[in-house]
């Protein structure tokens, strides 16, 4: 799994087994993949933005989170499940009112474009020190294995159009299914929903 013989091995750790400091770090990493700082300010709980993200977008989803470690160090993580699995998890949205409306529109957008039986990747992030080392492929390979175990026909995710991640996903066979425009007035950016069907030739 690791082609660098002088480096510690790469291992996957389920969300419930990830130490609290690394869960905090995951919450911080979320800010690098979206506009969550803006969304988190003036939240209904009055929490600092990173604490709010830990409470809202990490802790409720530990059953669907998988962390990637190099030796003892967190290298990245993903959060992936079917829409039905996400819907079965009790979670509370603590954003302020204007963001709640946009969040509801985003949820409706995902429901329209991600198939009910497909594996939806709600978040994926890699630590800056580990970027450029092929770990996106390592994470995606594990996501595909998760999808196959659940008989999911495709992997689906959303990515901001301005993000450097968009062409990386496209090079890996993801294709745009739809575009979310509701956030444009706030962020001057659009969010694309991408999907990649699983084929029999892919790694089991």
Q: How far apart are CA 35 and CA 42, in angstroms?
A: 14
Residue 203 pLDDT > 90, yes or no? no
**Other Cβ atoms closer than 10 A to 25:** 19
Evaluate whether residue 124 is within a structural domain. Answer: yes
pLDDT tens-digit series, residues 27-73: 999 988 888 888 899 889 999 989 989 999 999 999 999 999 999 99
In a domain, 5, yes or no: no
For the residues 162-178, what does the mean pLDDT come to? 96
Q: CB of 101 within 8 A of CB of 172?
A: no
Q: How far apart are CA 139 and CA 155, in angstroms?
A: 12
User: How many folded domains does the chain comprise?
Assistant: 1
- Burial string for 38-61 (b: 16+ CB within 10 Å, else e) reads ebbeebeeeeebbebbbbbbbeeb
pLDDT, tens digit (0-9, with 9 covering 90-100), for 187-196: 999 999 999 9
Asked if pLDDT for residue 106 goes beyond 70, the answer is: yes
- Residue 83, domain member (yes or no): yes
DSSP string, 11-27: EEEEGGGS-HHHHHHHH
The answer to whether the predicted template modeling score (pTM) of the entire model surpasses 0.85 is: yes
Decide if 204 is inside a domain: no
3-state DSSP call for residue 99?
helix
Q: What CATH number does the domain containing 54 carry?
A: 3.40.630.30
* pLDDT at residue 92, as a whole number: 86
DSSP H or E run through 145: helix 135-149
Q: What is the pLDDT of residue 87?
A: 93
C-beta neighbour count of 189 within 10 angstroms: 15
**CA proximity to 130, closest of 16, 32, 15:** 32
Using 50, 70 and 90 to split pLDDT, how confident is the model at 129?
very high
Answer whether residue 25 is part of any domain.
yes
For residue 35, tell me if it sits in a domain: yes
User: Token digits for 75?
Assistant: 């290298």
Which domain range does residue 55 map to?
Answer: 10-197
Asked if the structure places residue 4 within a domain, the reply is no
Give the pLDDT confidence score for residue 22 in this predicted structure: 98
Asked if residue 91 belongs to a domain, the reply is: yes
pLDDT of residue 204: 46
């Amino acid at each position: 799994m690791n082609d660098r013989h002088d480096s510690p091995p790469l291992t996957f750790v389920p969300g419930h087994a990830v130490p609290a400091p690394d869960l905090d770090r995951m919450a911080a990493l979320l800010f690098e993949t979206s506009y969550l700082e803006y969304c988190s300010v003036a939240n209904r709980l009055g929490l600092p933005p990173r604490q709010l993200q830990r409470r809202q977008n990490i802790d409720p989803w530990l059953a669907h989170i998988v962390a990637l470690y190099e030796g003892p160090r967190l290298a990245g993580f993903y959060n992936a499940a079917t829409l039905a699995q996400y819907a079965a998890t009790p979670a509370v949205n603590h954003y302020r009112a204007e963001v709640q409306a946009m969040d509801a529109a985003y949820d409706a957008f995902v429901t329209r474009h991600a198939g009910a039986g497909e594996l939806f990747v709600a978040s994926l992030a890699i630590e800056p020190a580990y970027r450029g080392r092929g770990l996106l492929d390592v994470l995606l390979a594990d996501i595909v294995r998760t999808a196959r175990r659940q008989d999911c026909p495709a992997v689906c995710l959303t990515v901001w159009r301005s993000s450097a991640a968009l062409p990386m996903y496209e090079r890996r066979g993801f294709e745009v299914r739809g575009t979310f425009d509701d956030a444009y007035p706030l962020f001057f950016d659009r969010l694309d929903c991408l999907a990649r069907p699983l084929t029999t030739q892919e790694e089991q």
